[in-house]
């Protein structure tokens, strides 16, 4: 009689392999339980991820808005610094919601007209022409004019006349928006 080799593995008797360890994969039930737990954790975390993404979008939007407002303030300041004179009434209107400047290019000496105005219906501050806006979502806008003595020069009938324009030595432009109130104030030459 020939002897058979001892069978080791699943289905063999436990007497021959008492010290051996079995290596096996996950059963389908274990895999389904693990997948269910992972889905539950993802579902629980999804609300947090969604909220974090919304906060990041809001912060990014606020930063872009503040950057745009700061850019608009720099543009107005640069225009006031390059200002050779306020526009005469026949060229551009200067009033409480509109500023007309004759700006001189420092290199060429060429003068150009710069108009900064507010459209309260759209909430936009325009520069030179409709379609080239400086700032949007502007809730209030004002231009104030001051003489050499520091006294405010108030435009008669909403428009600076020649005598008032000649007395102006300082211009203050303010606008209110979600970021707060911005003020640009410069002395004229």
Is 181 inside a domain boundary? Answer: yes
Is 31 inside a domain boundary? Answer: no
Higher per-residue confidence, 87 vs 131: 87
pLDDT tier at 97 (50, 70, 90 boundaries)?
confident
**Average confidence score pLDDT of the chain:** 84
pTM over 0.85: no
Residues counted in the chain: 189
pLDDT digits (tens, 9 = 90+) for 6-39: 555 555 554 555 555 656 777 888 889 999 999 9
Is 130 inside a domain boundary? Answer: yes
pLDDT digits (tens, 9 = 90+) for 63-79: 888 888 888 899 999 98
| Whether the predicted pLDDT of 145 surpasses 80 | yes
Tokens of 13: 């008797």
Beta carbons within 10 angstroms of residue 156's beta carbon: 11
Instruction: Provide the residue range defining the domain that includes 80.
Output: 56-187
Q: What percent of the chain clears pLDDT 70, i.e. is strictly above it?
A: 86
pLDDT of residue 143: 95
Is 27 inside a domain boundary? Answer: no
Is 41 inside a domain boundary? Answer: no
Is 7 inside a domain boundary? Answer: no
- Work out the average pLDDT over 83-97: 83
pLDDT of residue 28: 87
Is 175 inside a domain boundary? Answer: yes
pLDDT tier at 146 (50, 70, 90 boundaries)?
very high
Count of structural domains, the chain: 1
**Spatial distance between the Cα atoms of 25 and 15, rounded to a whole number of angstroms:** 24
Tokens of 39: 């889905």
Is 14 inside a domain boundary? Answer: no
């Amino acid at each position: 009689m020939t002897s058979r080799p001892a069978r080791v593995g699943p289905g063999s008797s436990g007497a021959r392999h008492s010290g051996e360890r079995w290596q096996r994969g996950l059963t389908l039930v274990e895999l389904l339980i693990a997948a269910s737990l992972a889905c539950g954790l993802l579902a629980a975390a999804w609300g947090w991820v969604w909220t974090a993404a919304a906060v990041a979008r809001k912060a990014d939007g606020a930063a872009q808005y503040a950057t745009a407002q700061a850019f608009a303030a720099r543009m107005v300041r640069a225009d006031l610094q390059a200002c050779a004179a306020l526009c005469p009434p026949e060229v551009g209107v200067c009033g409480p919601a509109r500023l007309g400047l004759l700006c001189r290019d420092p290199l060429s000496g060429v003068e150009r007209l710069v108009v900064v105005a507010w459209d309260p219906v759209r909430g936009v501050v325009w520069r030179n022409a409709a379609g080239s806006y400086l700032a949007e979502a502007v809730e209030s806008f004002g231009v104030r004019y001051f003489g050499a003595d520091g006294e405010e020069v108030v435009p008669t009938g909403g428009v600076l006349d020649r005598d008032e324009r000649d007395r102006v030595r300082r211009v203050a432009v303010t606008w209110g928006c979600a970021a707060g109130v911005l003020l640009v104030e410069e002395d004229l030459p």
